Amino acid sequence: MSLIRLDRVSRYYRMGAETIRALEEVSLTIDRGEYVAIMGPSGSGKSTLMNLLGCLDTPTSGVYELNGLNVSEMDDNQLAEVRNREIGFVFQTFNLLPRATALRNVELPLIYAGLAAEERRQRALEALERVGLGGRVNHKPMELSGGQGQRVAIARALVNRPSILLADEPTGNLDSKTGMEIMAIFNDLAATGHTIILVTHEEDIAHCARRIIRLRDGRIASDDPVRK
Amino acid sequence: MRFIIELHEALLIAWDAVRANKLRAGLTTLGIVVGIVTVTLMGTAIQGIQRGFRQSISVLGTDVLYVQRFDWFINSHAEWLRQQRRREITWSQFKALERQLNSARAVAPMVDIREAVKYKNRSATGVTIIGTTDQFLVTGGVGISEGRFITPEESEGGRPVCVVGAQTATNLFRGEPILGSRVYVGGHPFEVVGVLEKQGEFLGAFSLDNQVVIPIGQLTAHFVPFPDYTIQVKVGDESRLEDVREEVRGLMRKIRHVQPGDDDDFAINQQDQFIKTFNRVTGVIATVGLFITGLSLFVGGIGIMNIMFVSVAERTREIGIRKAIGAKRRNILIQFLLESMCICLFGGCIGLALAAPLTLALRRLMPATMSFGLVGLSLGVSLVVGVIAGFMPAWRAARLNPVEALRNE
């Protein structure tokens, strides 16, 4: 059974009198362990798709099944629980809490999962170790470089052992050398069996993945494996 | 367990948020501070007045009935006119009551007048001269600090002896030996046989220590031949107060020949009446005070609500992040509610800190102490204001759409 199954999913927005069709009947399946890049020019619907895949938003019509759960009909709190359990987000702007240390940032999903302090700390430290930041756990985001900040974000995304890592332009705010370091982490995670979905508009970043889905005007324009 | 973890986290965030904006939080709490200062001072003052009042009227005795011609509290002019027509309470009525009443511990007649008292070349004017019997020692609840009280034999006539109040003693004798000396009350000589213990003031109005007690026989012989008596009945046991009261009432009706069906033509007063009347007054003060306090807390609460809206707006992105990684609505709601409660509690503490020295200042006027109950009430009120003021902003934060919140810069 596939991990993600979208069946004719549409998402419309109302802008005054106008209806914007951000996604139009998109059907898509992604299996466990896949490494997928979603590409497309701005306005193609890739952010909308990412928000839907990440359970931050629900479709106007169609069915979204994640890990066997019909996510399209869940309410706010149920979605929050699914996000907490199943999805690890990595954002372009890192989105770390500025006043919290790296460790506390990484612990955050575990707090909402209701884990006790000792276990939280243990797992957060492991995750930070995994992204090579074992030595900077008590630094605040301001005291970290961009690459380090994004590593903290990846550690936070990993800490709850989610089904999917969802990365939205993860290298967008980084120079190309740091960007490649971050991609190396994702490649490594993919190699160890994590399911990763990258949203990007950079070809070379997308070519790290093993499958590229291209969107245009709210529809899937192409869906091809990457030949290496 | 899970809830405790979430609560702990929310508390940390809230505390952090307050610390991050110390000045803002401090200024915002001003309204609460004012409110809490008012609450505590009001409460302290009312409690202080009450305590002072109770102390003051305790000289009346909780278990003493005062049989008199007039009621202590007359509510209407018509009633006043009616009571004016009552006959006086006479010596023979007192004697009859004393003889027939078995259930009371002591019965004493009492008549008081104002006279000048002289000792050598010193004199004190406006001294309360109380004419009574030896039983007054029991019914009046007074103590003797020096010498003795008047004896039963002296009570009804004979020897001109007197017992002086503590203040009169100090004023007239100024340290000279008192017992056995001679004072002149309204020109008549009396031998001092005792000094009363200090009693304080009654309702802050007049001193109970500026008095001279003389045998009732002496008072009628020299000053008022046919006075209107007050009969003090000491029950000796508060639980029997009502029974004795009824017995006294029945006896007095019989003694004064009140026809069945007619109203009493005398009054039986007791301390209780003072307390009831007084409680009505403090009740009114408390209601007015509560209104004023409520107003300042309301204004304070609006301030908190305002700043909480600002806080939510400032941290929209943070809310988005938290929601994206799994915070439920209640997590966000609790986080902001706790922030608002922290600010209010902070204000409450400042308020209490300010009220404490003011209470000390208040102590010059009345026996004021800030009670634990009042401190608890103040903190509780702060928290309630925090919850009420914080609810709307917190609710709005909890319902934010994560996609839009994350887009917020």
**Looking at the complex, does the CB of residue A113 fall below 8 Å from at least one CB of chain B?**
yes
Instruction: Specify the pLDDT at position B20.
Output: 83
User: Residues A79-128: pLDDT tens digits?
Assistant: 999 999 999 999 999 999 988 999 999 999 999 998 888 999 999 999 99
Of B325, B329, B406, the CB nearest to A83: B325
Q: Please determine, for residue B181, whether its predicted confidence score (pLDDT) is greater than 60.
A: yes
Q: Nearest CA of chain B to the CA of A81: how many Å?
A: 6
- Put simply, the answer to whether B406 touches A56 (Cβ < 8 Å) is yes
Residue A88 structural domain: 4-225
Q: What would the mean pLDDT of B154-158 be, rounded to a whole number?
A: 78
- Put simply, the answer to whether B6 touches A108 (Cβ < 8 Å) is no
Residues of A in Cβ contact (< 8 Å) with B327: 80, 112
Give the H/E segment covering residue B118: strand B106-119
Chain B residue with minimal CA distance to A99?
B16
Detail the DSSP E strand segments found in B178-271.
182-185, 188-196, 201-202, 206-207, 211-215, 230-234, 267-270
Q: Where residue A221 sits, what CATH number does that domain have? A: 3.40.50.300
Can you tell me the ipTM of this complex? 0.94
Q: Please determine, for residue B274, whether its predicted confidence score (pLDDT) is greater than 90.
A: no
Alpha-carbon distances of A223 from A8, A13, A109, rounded to whole Å = 16, 25, 32
Instruction: Specify the pLDDT at position B44.
Output: 85
Q: Are A168 and A199 in contact (CB under 8 A)?
A: yes
User: Residues A32-45: pLDDT tens digits?
Assistant: 999 999 999 888 99
Q: What would the mean pLDDT of B88-111 be, rounded to a whole number?
A: 91
Q: What does the mean pLDDT of chain A come to?
A: 92
Give the H/E segment covering residue B147: strand B144-147
pLDDT grade, residue B204 (50/70/90)?
A: low
Residues of A in Cβ contact (< 8 Å) with B329: 76-77, 80
Q: Which of residues 40-59 of A touch B (CB under 8 A)?
A: 51, 54, 56-57
pLDDT grade, residue B202 (50/70/90)?
A: low
**Looking at the complex, does the CB of residue A77 fall below 8 Å from at least one CB of chain B?**
yes
Instruction: Specify the pLDDT at position B142.
Output: 81
Q: Are B154 and B196 in contact (CB under 8 A)?
A: no
Chain B residue with minimal CA distance to A78?
B328
Q: Please determine, for residue B409, whether its predicted confidence score (pLDDT) is greater than 80.
A: no
- Put simply, the answer to whether B327 touches A112 (Cβ < 8 Å) is yes
User: Residues B292-307: pLDDT tens digits?
Assistant: 888 888 988 999 999 9
Q: What would the mean pLDDT of B182-194 be, rounded to a whole number?
A: 92
Chain A residue with minimal CA distance to B406?
A95
**Looking at the complex, does the CB of residue A161 fall below 8 Å from at least one CB of chain B?**
no
Each domain of chain B, given as residue ranges in start order, spans: 2-56+276-407, 87-265
User: Residues A124-162: pLDDT tens digits?
Assistant: 999 999 999 988 899 999 999 999 999 999 999 999 999
b/e A114-133 (16+ beta carbons within 10 angstroms → b): ebeeeebbebbbebbebbeb
User: Residues A161-199: pLDDT tens digits?
Assistant: 999 999 999 998 899 899 999 999 999 999 999 999 999
Residues of B in Cβ contact (< 8 Å) with A152: none
Q: Please determine, for residue B347, whether its predicted confidence score (pLDDT) is greater than 70.
A: yes
Chain B residue with minimal CA distance to A48?
B403
- Put simply, the answer to whether B1 touches A114 (Cβ < 8 Å) is yes
B314 Cβ contact partners less than 8 Å away, ≥ 6 residues apart = none
- Tell which residue, A109, A205, A200, A209, has the closest CA to residue A154: A109
Instruction: Specify the pLDDT at position B200.
Output: 72
User: Residues B112-126: pLDDT tens digits?
Assistant: 999 999 998 888 888
Of B9, B330, B399, the CB nearest to A111: B9
pLDDT grade, residue A17 (50/70/90)?
A: confident
Q: Are B356 and B370 in contact (CB under 8 A)?
A: yes
User: Residues A38-90: pLDDT tens digits?
Assistant: 999 888 999 899 999 999 999 999 999 999 899 988 999 999 999 999 999 99
Q: Nearest CA of chain B to the CA of A22: how many Å?
A: 14
Chain B residue with minimal CA distance to A156?
B325
- Put simply, the answer to whether B324 touches A83 (Cβ < 8 Å) is yes
User: Residues B43-72: pLDDT tens digits?
Assistant: 888 888 888 777 777 777 778 899 999 988
Q: Please determine, for residue B195, whether its predicted confidence score (pLDDT) is greater than 80.
A: yes
Specify the pTM: 0.74
Q: What percent of chain B has pLDDT over 70?
A: 98
For testing contact with chain A, the best of B13, B18, B314, B325 (most A CBs within 10 A): B325
- Domains contained in chain A, number: 1
Chain B residue with minimal CA distance to A54?
B324
Contacts 24+ apart (CB under 8 A), A27-32: A27/A220, A28/A4, A28/A213, A28/A220, A28/A223, A29/A2, A29/A4, A29/A5, A30/A2, A30/A3, A30/A4, A30/A195, A30/A197, A31/A2, A31/A3, A31/A195, A32/A2, A32/A3, A32/A163, A32/A195
- Put simply, the answer to whether A80 touches B323 (Cβ < 8 Å) is yes
